[in-house]
C-alpha cells in the first residue's frame, strides 16, 4: 500500500475538500489497530493521530522508523491534521518479465530521455484512486488479505498476454476473458474494503499492461513536467523562506504556490520533513512519481504447490503513493513472448524502490569460533587423528573437511551455532521486509560464506541465489597473524560441502593479487575498486546486491562510493571496533547519477551479548 499524495503537497483548502466531514468521521469507530507498535508509540507519549500517521508513512515497518519519521517532521505544519491519503490497486510484472521490461525502460531512457511512460512502473490498474484515512489502513490491508486468500489458485495460468505495437505505443494486452477475471477479483476487493473499512474503490481494469510511449530516436524527445523532484545536492538555507535540502530527499511542487518563486528558484515541500520553502532549481532533478511510494506488505495469490520455476511473473499491488508497496504476489507463466521475455530464473517480486534504484547491503559475518572459545579452540575439537569432536552446544555439529588438514582452520575459523542463528535472523527479517537479494558477494573467509548461506536460508533463497566468492572483499591483510595469508577452501570444495557457492564465478581480484601486510591505502583502494566493479557488473541484471564480509567492509566498501574521502587509519580502526557481528548497513543509488548515499536498512539491528561457559558442577555444587 502506498499513499498517493502527502497532505502537505496541497493547500489546506484543497486537502480538506477531499476529507470526509469531521463529525461524520468521528461517529465511526476506528478499525485500525497497529498492535504493539502503536502501543509502544502511545506509551512514549505520542498522540494517536501522530503515531498512526508515522506508522502509515513508514509502511508500518517498526517503532524506530516511525520515531525517526516523527522527529524529522516535528515542524511539519500538517503533522496533527488527520488528513486521508489516496490509494490504488495495481497488478504489476515481476520475475523475468519485470527484468525484461526494466531493461526496455533503461534502453528507452538512453535513446530519448525520460518521457511520461517512465513516471510509473509497468502495471495493470485494477481500481481507481480512492481516499483512506490513516486509522483505516489496517482494515484496508485486511480486506486485501481476505480477497487474496479467497482467490488463491483461481487466477488462470499462464496469464495470457499479447504484444501489440503501433506508431504511438507499445504494450502487452490482457485477453478479454482474462480482463473479466481480474475485474471479478477487483470487485471482491472493493466489497471487502466496503465491509471492513467503509470504503468503496471503483473498479477500473485496464487492458494494457504497459504503455511506454514509443518515440523515434530521430525525432525530438517529449519530456514531461513532473511535480516530484529529487534532491541531488545539499543546500543550507540562507534566508527564512528557504528550504533545507538533503541529498536523496524528494520535493513536491504545487503550481498554485509557484508565483512566490523567482527565476532559478522553485517552491516545494520536503517529503523528509514536511516543510515548505524556496529552493535552487539546479539542486534538484525530476524524479519518477512512483519513487515516492511506500511499501506495506506482500501476499501470494498462488497455492503453495503451484509451479513457478520458469516463465514470467505478474504481481498485484495496492499502492498508497509515498513509498509503500506490494500487497499481492502472483507468479504466472507467460508463453508466446520469447522475443520479449526469454527464459531465465524466476525471482520473487522486489520492492518498488528497488525497481528504480540499485541498493547495496554490506553485512559483517556472524559470531566466530576462535573469539568465543579462544585461539586454541582447535585443540578442543580435533583428536589426534584430525577428527572433529563437538565439545559445546555452541560449536557446529560438523565442519567441512579441508585438504590441508584441520590446522587450516587456525586462520580461517567457522562461525558458531549462535552465529548461524544470527545470520538466519537477518535473513528472516529481510524476508519479512519483502526484500529480495539479487546477488551475493562474499569474502573467501569461511565465516563469511557460512554467514551468507544462513542469511539466504532465512530469506528462503538458498539454492536459488548463489554466493560469489570474491577475494577482493577480504579484510585488511595487516590484521592477519604470521607471514602468510589464510588457506581458504576453494569454491568447488565449498559447493561439495553443500554451500550455495557459484563455482563459475571469476573474481575481480584473485587471491594471487592479495599481499601480506598491505598498507591501509592499498586496502581502502582495493575495497573501493572491487565494490565499484561488483555494482557495475550487477547493474541492469538486478537491483539489490548483498556483500557479506568483515567489520571493516561496512566502512571500506561504502565510503568512497558516496563520493567521500577515506578516513585516516586511526579513525577507521575506531569505527571498525564498534561494528558487531551481523552489523548491517545499506546504500542506495541516487537516481542514475552514479552517486550513492547511506540509507536506513530495511531491517532492525541485532543486539547480543557474550556470556561465559557454564559448568553446573563448578557453579552449583558447593563444599
Of 365, 434, 454, 508, the catalytic one is 365
Active site residue 364: yes
Q: How far apart are CA 4 and CA 19, in angstroms?
A: 15
Of 22, 97, 106, nearest in space to 358 by CA: 106
Rg over alpha carbons for the chain, rounded to the nearest Å, is 26
With cell 481516499, the residue in question is 131
Q: In terms of Cα–Cα distance, which of 561, 563, 608, 607 is closest to 586?
A: 561
Contact 488, 475 (CB under 8 A): no
The reply to whether 447 sits in an annotated binding site is yes
Q: Give the bridge partners for 318, in sequence order.
A: 89
Q: Which is nearest to 544 in space by CA: 354, 325, 364?
A: 354
Give 495-518 as a 3 state SS string: HHCCCCECCCCCCCCCHHHCCCCC
Per the listing, cell 525471482 goes with: 347
SS3 of 299-310: CECCCCCCCCCC
How many Å apart are CA 87 and CA 265, to the nearest integer? 31
Q: What are phi and psi of 231, to 5 degrees?
A: -75, 125
Tell me if 229 sits within 8 A of 253, measured CB to CB: yes
Looking at the DSSP bridge assignments, the partners of residue 596 are: 589
Q: Are 286 and 307 in contact (CB under 8 A)?
A: no
Between CA 504 and CA 591, with CA 545 as vertex, the angle to 5 degrees is 130
Options 364, 454, 508, 526, the catalytic residue = 364
What are the Cα distances from residue 332, in Å, to 185, 200, 211, 300, 316? 16, 28, 20, 11, 12
CA distance 561 to 597: 8
Strands 544-549 and 439-442: parallel
Query: Given phi > 0 = left and psi -120 to 50 = alpha, else beta, which region is 245?
Result: beta
Cβ–Cβ < 8 Å for 535, 358: yes
Check 4, 368, 402, 550 and give the catalytic one: 550
* CB contact at 8 A, 247 and 231: yes
Q: What is Dmax (Cα atoms) for the chain?
A: 95
Nearest CA to 382 out of 399, 368, 365 is that of: 399
> Is the CB of residue 215 less than 8 Å from the CB of residue 115?
yes
CB 480 within 8 A of CB 540: no
Beta bridge partners of 132: 85
Burial 173-206 (b: 16+ CB within 10 A, else e): bbeeebbebbeebbbbbbebbeebbbbebebebb
Contact between 434 and 326 under an 8 Å Cβ cutoff? The reply is yes
d(CA 555, CA 557): 6
Q: Where are the alpha helices (DSSP H) in 120-214?
A: 137-150, 176-197
Q: Residues annotated in the binding site for substrate, as ranges?
A: 447
Q: State the catalytic residues.
A: 364-365, 550
Q: Residues annotated in the binding site, as ranges?
A: 447
Amino acid at each position: 500500500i502506498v499513499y498517493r499524495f502527502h497532505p502537505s503537497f496541497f493547500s489546506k483548502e484543497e486537502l480538506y475538500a477531499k476529507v470526509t466531514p469531521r463529525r461524520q468521521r468521528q461517529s465511526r469507530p476506528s478499525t485500525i489497530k497497529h498492535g504493539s507498535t502503536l502501543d509502544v508509540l502511545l506509551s512514549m507519549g505520542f498522540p494517536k493521530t501522530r503515531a498512526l500517521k508515522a506508522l502509515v508513512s513508514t509502511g508500518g515497518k517498526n517503532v524506530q522508523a516511525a520515531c525517526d519519521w516523527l522527529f524529522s517532521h516535528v515542524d511539519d505544519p500538517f503533522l496533527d491534521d488527520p488528513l486521508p491519503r489516496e490509494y490504488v490497486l495495481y497488478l504489476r510484472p515481476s520475475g523475468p518479465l519485470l527484468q525484461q521490461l526494466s531493461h526496455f525502460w533503461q534502453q528507452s531512457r538512453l535513446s530519448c530521455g525520460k518521457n511520461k511512460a517512465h513516471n510509473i512502473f509497468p502495471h495493470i490498474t485494477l481500481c481507481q484512486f480512492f481516499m483512506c484515512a490513516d486509522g483505516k489502513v489496517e482494515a484496508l490491508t485486511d480486506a486485501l488479505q481476505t480477497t487474496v486468500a479467497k482467490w488463491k489458485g483461481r487466477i488462470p495460468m499462464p496469464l495470457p498476454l499479447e504484444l501489440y505495437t503501433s506508431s504511438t505505443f507499445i504494450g502487452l494486452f490482457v485477453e478479454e476473458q482474462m480482463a473479466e477475471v481480474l475485474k471479478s477479483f477487483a470487485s471482491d476487493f472493493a466489497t471487502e474494503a466496503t465491509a471492513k473499512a467503509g470504503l468503496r474503490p471503483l473498479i477500473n481494469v485496464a487492458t494494457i499492461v504497459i504503455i511506454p510511449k514509443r518515440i523515434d530516436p530521430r525525432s525530438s524527445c517529449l519530456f514531461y513536467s513532473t511535480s516530484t523532484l529529487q534532491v541531488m545536492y545539499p543546500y543550507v538555507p540562507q534566508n527564512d523562506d528557504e528550504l533545507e535540502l538533503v541529498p536523496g530527499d524528494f520535493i513536491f511542487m504545487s503550481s498554485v504556490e509557484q508565483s512566490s518563486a523567482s527565476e532559478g528558484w522553485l517552491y516545494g515541500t520536503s517529503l523528509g520533513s514536511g516543510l515548505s520553502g524556496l529552493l535552487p532549481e539546479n539542486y534538484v532533478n525530476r524524479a519518477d512519481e512512483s519513487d515516492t511510494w511506500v511499501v506495506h506488505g506482500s501476499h501470494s495469490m498462488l497455492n503453495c504447490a503451484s509451479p513457478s520455476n520458469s516463465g514470467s511473473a505478474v504481481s498485484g499491488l495496492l499502492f498508497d503513493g509515498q513509498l509503500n508497496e506490494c500487497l499481492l504476489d502472483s507468479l504466472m507463466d507467460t508463453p508466446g513472448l520469447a522475443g520479449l521475455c526469454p527464459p531465465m530464473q524466476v525471482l520473487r517480486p522486489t520492492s518498488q524502490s528497488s525497481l528504480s534504484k540499485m541498493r547495496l547491503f554490506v553485512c559483517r559475518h556472524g559470531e566466530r569460533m576462535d573469539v568465543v572459545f579462544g585461539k586454541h579452540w582447535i585443540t578442543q575439537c580435533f583428536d589426534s587423528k584430525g577428527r572433529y569432536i563437538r565439545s559445546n552446544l555452541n560449536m557446529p555439529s560438523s565442519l567441512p573437511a579441508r585438504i590441508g588438514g584441520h590446522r587450516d582452520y587456525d586462520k580461517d575459523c567457522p562461525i558458531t551455532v549462535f552465529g548461524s542463528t544470527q545470520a538466519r535472523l537477518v535473513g528472516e527479517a529481510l524476508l519479512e521486509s519483502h526484500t529480495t537479494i539479487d546477488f551475493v558477494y562474499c569474502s573467501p573467509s569461511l565465516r563469511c560464506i557460512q554467514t551468507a548461506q544462513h542469511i539466504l536460508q532465512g530469506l528462503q533463497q538458498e539454492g536459488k541465489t548463489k554466493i560469489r566468492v570474491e577475494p577482493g572483499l577480504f579484510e585488511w591483510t595487516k590484521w592477519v597473524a604470521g607471514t602468510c595469508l589464510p588457506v581458504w577452501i576453494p569454491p568447488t570444495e565449498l559447493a561439495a560441502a553443500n554451500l550455495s557457492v557459484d563455482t563459475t564465478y571469476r573474481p575481480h581480484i584473485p587471491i594471487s593479487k592479495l599481499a601480506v601486510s598491505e598498507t591501509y591505502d592499498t586496502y581502502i583502494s582495493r575495497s573501493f575498486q572491487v565494490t565499484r566493479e561488483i555494482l557495475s557488473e550487477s547493474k541492469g541484471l538486478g537491483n539489490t546486491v548483498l556483500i557479506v564480509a568483515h567489520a571493516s567492509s561496512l566502512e571500506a566498501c561504502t565510503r568512497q562510493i558516496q563520493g567521500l574521502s577515506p578516513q585516516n587509519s586511526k579513525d577507521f580502526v575506531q569505527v571498525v571496533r564498534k561494528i558487531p557481528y551481523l552489523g548491517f548497513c545499506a546504500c542506495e543509488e541516487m537516481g542514475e547519477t552514479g552517486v550513492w548515499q547511506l540509507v536506513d536498512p530495511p531491517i532492525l539491528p541485532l543486539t547480543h551479548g557474550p556470556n561465559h561457559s557454564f559448568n553446573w558442577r563448578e557453579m552449583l555444587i558447593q563444599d
